[in-house]
Amino acid sequence: MAGFLNLVSGYFSIPWLLIEMWREQRLNSRYGKFRGKVVLVTGASSGIGKELAKQLFKQGAKLILASRSTEKLLELRDELKSMQCSVPIYVPAVLTIDLEQVGELAGKSKEAWQLFGRVDILVNCGGMSVRGGVVDTQLHVYRRLMEVNYFGSVELTRNIVTRMVEEGCGLVVNISSIQGLISLPDRSAYSASKHAIQAFSDSLRAEVYSAGVRVLVVSPGYVNTELSLNSLTSSGEKHNKLDPTTLNGYSVEYVAKEIIRSILNEDKEVVLAPVHHRLVVVIRTLLPRIYFYIMQKRAQKNK
């Protein structure tokens, strides 16, 4: 049996490799579309946002690096400036944004637009997570997650999109999570915030389409970042642990490249997760009772 599987694997490996080479070549030939484009990336100081900024910078994008940590943004800017690139590059702008301070975001949006005179692409990548059960998680933790993951992104998007509509073009990329499509035990606060951004994006996509503004939602599965380290507990303390699922997740390099591919393909939605995780999304839609049973078993296992 093992010999048969190896034979089948070998038979399909060459065509698969050729397809991947073709996809890579096609992607490389289209990178020029980012040259001179103004891209505002929130959460740019770490994780997916940081890697995405690096890859876009190499393609000649005019970056606006945004996050709470000015120090980390300045370090990233210096790192980018030292890179050897084959295309003309632009010194990134740094914009300190705290998504939890929703009242400041209208002004921050205006400031972002003034840095290069426009914003062509807004990437909402900033966010946080929680490790805690529904009953144990305190209300102030739920509120904080919604402020950062939902209300902050909504307010920034509203103000940026207003100008995009006036210009008649633009793209909003919301980095959600597969947990915005399916909810897991002990992730209620995080899943709820991502469900919310998913629904917001669906409405926004329909409303601004005729104005020439596009919306892409990217829903990754587990990604090897510091998200779990910086997550909150049910009481609001720092989780400060690197979960095994996170450690074994996709690399940020892979996720950033797939996000870029989705932008270039003009996709509306993409789920970046293994087949068995994507299958759970389908089961939730078509066979909800089976999904509920699976989650019940998972919850019992976590106790």
d(CA 107, CA 299): 43
User: How crowded is residue 134: how many other Cβ atoms within 10 Å of its Cβ?
Assistant: 14
Q: Per-residue DSSP letters for 61-94?
A: -EEEEEES-HHHHHHHHHHHHTS--SS---PPEE
Cβ(277)–Cβ(249) under 8 Å?
A: no
Distances from the Cα of 142 to the Cαs of 3, 53, 187, 191, 195, in angstroms? Answer: 52, 29, 11, 11, 13
Q: Would you call 190 a catalytic residue per the annotation? A: yes
Angle (CA) 128-221-79 rounded to 5° is 60
Identify the DSSP state of 125. -
Give SS3 for 257. helix
150, 190, 222, 250: which is the annotated catalytic residue? 190
Which residues are catalytic, by number? Answer: 190
